[in-house]
Amino acid sequence: MASFLITDVRIFDGEKVVAESGSVLVENGKITKVSSSSSISFDGPTYSKPGHTLLPGLIDAHIHANNGNTVALPQSLRFGVTTVCDLHNEYFNIQKLRQQIEGGDCADLKTTSYAATIENGWPMFVVLALHDSPEVRKEISHWPKLTTPETGRQYVQDRVKENVDYIKLMHESGKFLGKTIDKPSLELQTAIIKEAHAHGLKTIAHSTSLQDTLEILSCGVDGLAHTFIDQAPTTELIEAYKKNNAHCNPTLACMGSATTEGQAQQKRFAHDPRVRELLGEDERERMCACMSFAKASGGKVEHAYETVRRLKEAGVPVIIGSDSAAPAVGTAWGLSAHHELSLFVHECGFTPLEALRAATSLTASRFNFHDRGRIQEGLRADLMLVQGDPTREIDHTLDLRGVWTRGELCSVYRGKV
């Protein structure tokens, strides 16, 4: 693993700016020294970067590398996302992705493996509605078909054997689609959450309506993988989040794609000149399209924005996650994390510093990722170098000049730092 020194650089450590012209020493893939000045001595590769900002690598708290997609992890890394959290995938695909990481030039992967699914529930309902084929049915045949608290507890024990990092639940009635979808019982959901907690695992839940969100929060879940778009937030919702000390990962760009209201912003990010060499043409085309699921049911992305504003005002943790996936048009691995940062700042009242925390140290804290998310001695050297100052102007996060994972420079930036 590489060793190097970055000096004369602004340092955002995941919480705050700790230096306007400081230094960070990386040795054997770990951060070994952080200085507010340029006083670190090092006999090795040195980068002097005045006018640049060094940040922790971003953590995308919500993706799907569906079918073991080999684009997801390299593309995420190119955009400065050094850790991705896959929130539902077949275990055999997770094994493929873990092998891909060993080859280098990939974001690190955190996973739940299979989410806690039921027969004809989410996402089985929508997958079959869009892609019913023998191949898809074979894939779905591997998913859990949970029914009782006992099967829920066994599900968690099976995931523990797969060395997962958290547990993902599905609690979706289909309201945002204008449909009715089978939904797990609260008794089943509570059993899953309690068993996960007994194994020291956090629990994250999919819900996209206010009522579904309130129900799963009543079961004791630790965080939501979306916010809702069917109606405005209520005081009851805010209190439910606070009672659990739960976080919200709102996936705002995804919700804008679902209602089609975000398409203009999607196109702006997809065609930003700075991403031309980082994004494939297929991925660019998908990011410009919309899922449109919620258009007919009258969902509004403003409900999601207002929910985030209210949660932030109440002190509820809100983190960055994109729900990027190949079938989720309107998203792109890596790039959508920058889209989310922009929406936090320009639609939801976050300062750039607050938004950057939501994509680094706060997410690491919420998921118990103790070895990353900050620029601190002893942690992984997962780093992102950008020209300009994103702590004042969030748009500068796309002025990428270097990305490292465990001290290894992403190949796209070799010779460019």
Statement to judge: residues 253 and 385 lie in one domain: no
* C-alpha separations of 232 from 12, 293, 306, 402 in Å: 34, 18, 7, 40
Q: What mean pLDDT do residues 207-230 have?
A: 97
CATH code assigned at 241: 3.20.20.140
> For residues 252, 216, 173 and 144, what is the CA-based torsion angle, rounded to 10 degrees?
100
- Tally of structural domains, the chain: 2
Statement to judge: residues 111 and 42 lie in one domain: no
Nearest to 355 by CA among 320, 323, 399: 320
- 257 residue type, one letter: S
Q: Record the tokens describing residue 72, joined without a space.
A: 């997801």
Statement to judge: residues 80 and 201 lie in one domain: yes
Q: Record the tokens describing residue 137, joined without a space.
A: 């049915």
How confident is the model at residue 205, as a pLDDT? 98
* Tens-digit pLDDT profile for residues 253-312: 999 999 999 999 999 999 999 999 999 999 999 999 998 877 666 789 999 999 999 999
Nearest to 302 by CA among 242, 353, 354, 343: 343
How confident is the model at residue 39, as a pLDDT? 83
Statement to judge: residues 259 and 179 lie in one domain: yes
Statement to judge: residues 289 and 225 lie in one domain: yes
What are phi and psi for residue 108, nearest 5 degrees? Answer: -75, 155
Statement to judge: residues 86 and 131 lie in one domain: yes
Longest dimension (CA), the chain: 64
* Residue numbers of the domain that contains 299: 58-372
Residue 132 above 90 pLDDT? no
pTM of the model: 0.96
Q: Strands of 39-179 (E only): list them.
A: 46-48, 52-56, 58-63, 81-86, 108-111, 167-170
Classify residue 136 as exposed, middle or buried by CB count within 10 Å of its CB (0-12, 13-18, 19+): middle
Give the whole-angstrom CA distance, residue 340 versus residue 226: 12
Give the whole-angstrom CA distance, residue 165 versus residue 159: 9
Give SS3 for 402.
strand
| Structure-model confidence comparison of residues 133 and 414, the more confident one | 414
Statement to judge: residues 176 and 320 lie in one domain: yes
* Tens-digit pLDDT profile for residues 23-48: 999 999 999 999 999 889 899 999 99
Statement to judge: residues 133 and 7 lie in one domain: no
Q: What is the 3-state secondary structure (H, E, C) of 172-237?
A: CCCHHHCCCCCCCCHHHHHHHHHHHHHCCCCEEEECCCHHHHHHHHHCCCCEECCCCCCCCCCHHH
The b/e string for 400-415 (b: 16+ C-beta within 10 A; e otherwise) is bbbbbbbbbbbebeee
Classify residue 178 as exposed, middle or buried by CB count within 10 Å of its CB (0-12, 13-18, 19+): middle
Q: What mean pLDDT do residues 231-241 have?
A: 97
Q: Record the tokens describing residue 396, joined without a space.
A: 């500068």
CATH code assigned at 412: 2.30.40.10
Q: Is 302 left (phi over 0), alpha (psi -120 to 50) or beta?
A: alpha
Q: What mean pLDDT do residues 375-404 have?
A: 98
Statement to judge: residues 11 and 89 lie in one domain: no
Lowest mean pLDDT among 48-62, 92-106, 166-180: 166-180
* C-alpha separations of 224 from 117, 151, 161, 244, 256 in Å: 16, 22, 24, 11, 17
Statement to judge: residues 63 and 186 lie in one domain: yes
Give the whole-angstrom CA distance, residue 55 versus residue 34: 12
Statement to judge: residues 257 and 295 lie in one domain: yes
Statement to judge: residues 128 and 231 lie in one domain: yes
